[in-house]
Structure 1
Amino acid sequence: MEVQGKRILITGGSSGIGLETARALAGKGAKVFIVGRRGKVVAQAVAALRGAGGQAEGTDADVTTPEGRTRALVGARTWLGGLDILINNAGGVRAGRLEDTPEADIRQMVEVNLLSPILLARAALPDLRAAGDGMIVNVASGIALVGVPFYTTYAAVKAGISHFGEALRRELKGEGVHVLTIYPAATDTPMMTSSHAGPDLGFVREPASAVAQAIVEGIETAAFQVIRGGETRLAMIAQNRSDPAALDARFLGLKPKLAEAVKDHSAL
């Protein structure tokens, strides 16, 4: 897909992977409409994108609510004049032992990471069909492919959006709308600020700009999926399928240190 001139809505687009993806797409001539919960931060992001010569607009909206999803879509339709690509990037995490995780945080992770992208995709499908060459991009996580201790709910919802994308891609095959799923590894974003897990625990953070570039390449090539983390991540995924007990043993040795490192990891 040629991204120049494409009309793109990006949720969670005011910071992190979302903002860097907006920057990369705008740099290639796309028109981007970003959505975030904090109006001031959205305005700053839009100003930065425009300052770099990009065509950008945005709005503050909480896409976990019906009103927020409507605000996002109406704003995008009005400014863009239609919609070619929906990027479901908004997300949130709360790490820690399952029994210590408040029910409200569990529900919030389900809402923002799984339910909202599904409902937003459903609402945007008429626009994407009308475009004739539409695309939905769902940002999952490497944790969707290899479950990590203390990220049980996060792993569940990210695996859910992964399989949602796979099923929807097949459902829409031949109908002018493609679905791409992104699996970032640990990324240097505001969402990771409260995590103290480092390379010794397998959390090697790459720049958000690198993930964004991979997303753009995935869009351009109409890929099915983009998996970050290099050969190390691919080897772990393969081992998780062929010898999951070996990974269980590996994580057993890491559990005490990992539990301490991620106990305060929260971005909801």
Structure 2
Amino acid sequence: MQINGKRIVITGGSSGIGYALARSLLARGAHVLIVGRDADKAAQAARRLSDEGRTVHAVVADVATDAGRAAILAGARHHLGGLDVLVNNAGGVRAGRLETIDADTIRQMIDVNLLAPILLTRQALPMLRESGDAVVLNVASAIALVGMPFYTIYAATKAGLARFSEALRRELKHEGVHVITAYPGGTDTPMMRNNRAGPDLGFSLEPATDVAEAIADGLATEAFEVIRGGPARTEMVALNRTDPGALDARFAGLKAALEEAVSDHSAM
């Protein structure tokens, strides 16, 4: 895909991977609209991006609501004149043992991480079809490829999003809408600030700019997926398929330390 001139909406675009991706795509000549729930943060992000000489628009909306999704698409039509690329990036996490996470938080994670991107994509498809050269880019997680203890709900939602992407890509083949799935590993973003797990527990943090550049490259080449983590991640994914018990044993040895380190990891 030629990114220059493309009209792109990024949910969760006021910070973290979404913000870094907006910056990368703007530098490549895209017209970008970022979406965030917090009006001040969205305005500040748009201002910072605009200060670099690019025109960027912001919409304040909650992707988990019908009104929010309608506002996003109305904003795309109003500010961009249409839509070529939808980036479903907004998400939330709450780590901990399954029995300690309350039902409302579980529903919130499912709504934001899985149901919202499905419904927003569904509603955006008519506009994407108008483009004739469109992409849906879903930001899942490396945890969708290898489930980690104490991230049961997050893993479930991100794995669901990944399989949604794969099935939709095949459903839309040769219809002018391509679908890409991104699998970031641990990334240095605000979402990770209260996660105390380090590299010894499998949480090496990559700069958000590096993840964003890889995703932008994947968009440019119309990749099927963008997986971060290098050879170590590739090895872990392969082992999870061929000898999952070996990973079970590895995680068992880390369980006590991991549970303590992620006990306060919440970004909802």
TM-score, length-normalised on structure 1?
0.99
> Which residue of the partner structure matches residue 204 of structure 1?
204
| Structure 1, unaligned runs of 5 or more | none
Spell out, residue by residue over 1:223-265, the C-alpha distance to the aligned partner (whole angstroms, 9 max, x if none): 0000000000000000000000000000000000000000010
> Which residue of the partner structure matches residue 40 of structure 2?
40
> Which residue of the partner structure matches residue 65 of structure 1?
65
Q: For 1:107 and 1:196, how far apart are their aligned partners in 2?
A: 25
Count of residue pairs the alignment pairs up: 268
> Which residue of the partner structure matches residue 220 of structure 1?
220
Moved over 2 A (4+): none
Q: For 1:77 and 1:40, how far apart are their aligned partners in 2?
A: 23
Spell out, residue by residue over 1:174-206, the C-alpha distance to the aligned partner (whole angstroms, 9 max, x if none): 000000000000000000011001011010000
Matches within 5 A, 1:167-186: 167-186=167-186
Q: For 2:50 and 2:206, how far apart are their aligned partners in 1?
A: 25
Q: For 2:34 and 2:15, how far apart are their aligned partners in 1?
A: 10
Q: For 1:33 and 1:158, how far apart are their aligned partners in 2?
A: 24
> Which residue of the partner structure matches residue 143 of structure 2?
143
Residue 132 of structure 1 deviates from its aligned partner by 0.4
> Which residue of the partner structure matches residue 249 of structure 1?
249
> Which residue of the partner structure matches residue 93 of structure 2?
93
Matched AA of 1:20:
A
Asked whether the 8 Å contact 1:17–1:209 carries over to 2, the reply is: yes
Spell out, residue by residue over 1:79-123, the C-alpha distance to the aligned partner (whole angstroms, 9 max, x if none): 000000000000000000000001111000000000000000000
Q: For 2:73 and 2:91, how far apart are their aligned partners in 1?
A: 18
Partner of 1:146: helix, strand, or coil?
coil
Spell out, residue by residue over 1:121-162, the C-alpha distance to the aligned partner (whole angstroms, 9 max, x if none): 000001111100000000000000000000000000000000
Residue 30 of structure 1 deviates from its aligned partner by 0.3
Q: For 1:174 and 1:27, how far apart are their aligned partners in 2?
A: 29
> Which residue of the partner structure matches residue 111 of structure 2?
111
Q: For 1:85 and 1:233, how far apart are their aligned partners in 2?
A: 28
Asked whether the 8 Å contact 1:30–1:55 carries over to 2, the reply is: no
Q: For 1:198 and 1:156, how far apart are their aligned partners in 2?
A: 23
TM-score, length-normalised on structure 2?
0.99
Matches within 5 A, 1:156-175: 156-175=156-175
> Which residue of the partner structure matches residue 31 of structure 1?
31
Residue 76 of structure 1 deviates from its aligned partner by 1.4
| Structure 2, unaligned runs of 5 or more | none
Residue 54 of structure 1 deviates from its aligned partner by 1.4
What percentage of aligned pairs have identical amino acids? Answer: 62
Q: For 2:103 and 2:166, how far apart are their aligned partners in 1?
A: 28
